[in-house]
């Protein structure tokens, strides 16, 4: 687990962070699978899209999808098509992305990064998939462990590749990376009308996973309709003036999490938080410990 993820878990609930070092939940939610697959594709040798697509299907089987949807295959295919196109779009013909090596914080604690190095390997970058990009999302991102914490630990800035994906509804994301419209006669691929109106009922709504367009054709149509900047943009963040404070806070928290011998107090109000759903909600709110009988996988007590 990356240091930033562990610290976010601790901010949400100290018990969640403690459990996450010892147990893996039985399933992953759709967004977790999407993010994991895109990052896998970005780092893979060979075609980024192919690698991301295969990773989705692997994860959908093991550990499996945490979803109320009944059409698991359809959902997996939707995520796979989304991950395929996103990973290919972000990496293009570039070499596989690399993670920075862990760095040592002042007291000797290792910081394990979840970010990537840019092409120069002197700057950080991160892929951020979020429902909506606005001023609140920007402030939250700039003060997150994923960004401010990473920048403080490495002492360099970060370019955030922002992908605005919208909310997951009925097992589908609806955005130009996943959905388009075809003209009833010319069959041209479109994403928005130039007059701002909605497409009429005669237009066919098509999904990326079922449409015949190649990824290049889909991208060309997005570019022609001018929707690409609405979906993908770069937000650069520098090192905070309080970088030393961020490192000190991280040291204190990481030391406490790793040295604790018993589960910390629970945070009941965070058990069913919709933005950051707890992977231990199947046991902890019921007063139970994670266990193989409940589907959790023991990953070992950290040294």
Q: Which of 15, 4, 40, 2 is nearest to 260 (CA)?
A: 15
Q: Which of 191, 280, 203 is nearest to 230 (CA)?
A: 191
Take residue 210 and report the two structure tokens written for it. 């079922």
Per-residue pLDDT, 223: 95
Q: Between β-strands 124-130 and 158-164, what pairing exists: parallel, antiparallel or unpaired?
A: parallel
Across the chain, what does the average pLDDT equal? 94
Check whether 65 has a pLDDT greater than 60. yes
- Lowest-pLDDT range of 173-177, 190-194, 231-235, 291-295: 190-194
pLDDT band (50, 70, 90) for residue 300: confident
CA distance 91 to 31: 20
Per-residue pLDDT, 109: 85
Angle at 188 between CA 184 and CA 193, to 5 degrees: 85
Q: Between β-strands 103-104 and 110-111, what pairing exists: parallel, antiparallel or unpaired?
A: antiparallel
Q: What is the mean pLDDT of residues 1-17?
A: 95
**Phi, psi torsion values for 177, nearest 5 degrees:** -80, -15
Per-residue pLDDT, 1: 87
Share of the chain above pLDDT 70, in %: 98
Per-residue pLDDT, 57: 97
pLDDT tens by residue, 77-95: 999 999 999 999 999 889 9
Start-to-end CA distance of the chain, whole Å, equals 14
CA distance 176 to 180: 6
Q: What is the mean pLDDT of residues 272-286?
A: 91
CA distance 253 to 42: 31
Q: Between β-strands 168-169 and 172-173, what pairing exists: parallel, antiparallel or unpaired?
A: antiparallel
pLDDT tens by residue, 170-187: 999 999 999 999 999 999
Take residue 190 and report the two structure tokens written for it. 């479109």
Q: Which of 130, 147, 99, 140 is nearest to 31 (CA)?
A: 130
Take residue 139 and report the two structure tokens written for it. 């402030």
Helical H segments across the chain, by residue range: 3-12, 14-20, 30-43, 48-59, 72-91, 135-142, 150-154, 215-224, 228-231, 243-259
CA distance 283 to 57: 27
Where on the phi/psi map is residue 171: left (φ > 0), alpha (ψ -120 to 50), or beta? left
pLDDT band (50, 70, 90) for residue 114: very high
- Lowest-pLDDT range of 54-58, 84-88, 102-106: 102-106
Check whether 145 has a pLDDT greater than 60. yes
Check whether 302 has a pLDDT greater than 80. no
Share of the chain above pLDDT 90, in %: 88
Contact 204, 184 (CB under 8 A): yes
Question: Reduced to 3 states, what is the DSSP secondary structure of residue 183?
Answer: coil
Check whether 303 has a pLDDT greater than 70. no
């Amino acid at each position: 687990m990356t240091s930033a993820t562990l610290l976010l878990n601790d901010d949400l609930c100290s018990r969640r962070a403690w459990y996450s070092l010892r147990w893996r939940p039985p399933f992953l939610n759709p967004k977790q699978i999407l993010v994991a697959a895109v990052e896998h594709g970005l780092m893979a040798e060979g075609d980024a899209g192919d690698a991301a697509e295969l990773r989705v299907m692997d994860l959908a089987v093991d550990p499996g999808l945490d979803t109320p949807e009944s059409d698991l295959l359809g959902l997996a295919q939707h995520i796979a098509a989304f991950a395929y196109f996103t990973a290919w779009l972000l990496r293009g013909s570039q070499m596989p992305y690399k993670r920075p090596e862990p760095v040592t914080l002042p007291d000797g604690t290792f910081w394990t990064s979840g970010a990537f190095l840019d092409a120069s390997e002197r700057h950080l970058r991160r892929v951020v998939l979020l429902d909506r990009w606005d001023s609140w999302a920007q402030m939250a991102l700039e003060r997150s462990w994923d960004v401010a914490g990473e920048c403080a630990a490495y002492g360099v800035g970060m370019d955030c590749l922002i992908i605005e994906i919208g909310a997951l509804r009925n097992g589908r994301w609806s955005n130009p990376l996943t959905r388009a419209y075809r003209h009833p006669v010319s069959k041209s691929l479109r994403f928005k009308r130039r007059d701002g109106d909605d497409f009429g009922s005669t237009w066919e709504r098509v999904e990326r996973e079922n449409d015949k367009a190649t990824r290049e054709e889909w991208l060309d149509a997005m570019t022609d309709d001018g929707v690409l900047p609405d979906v993908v943009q770069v937000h650069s963040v520098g090192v905070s003036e309080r970088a030393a404070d961020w490192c000190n806070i991280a040291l204190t928290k990481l030391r406490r999490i790793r040295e604790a011998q018993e589960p910390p107090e629970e945070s009941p109000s965070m058990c069913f938080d919709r933005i950051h759903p707890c992977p231990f909600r199947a046991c902890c709110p019921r007063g139970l410990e994670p266990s193989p009988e409940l589907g959790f996988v023991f990953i070992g007590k950290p040294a």
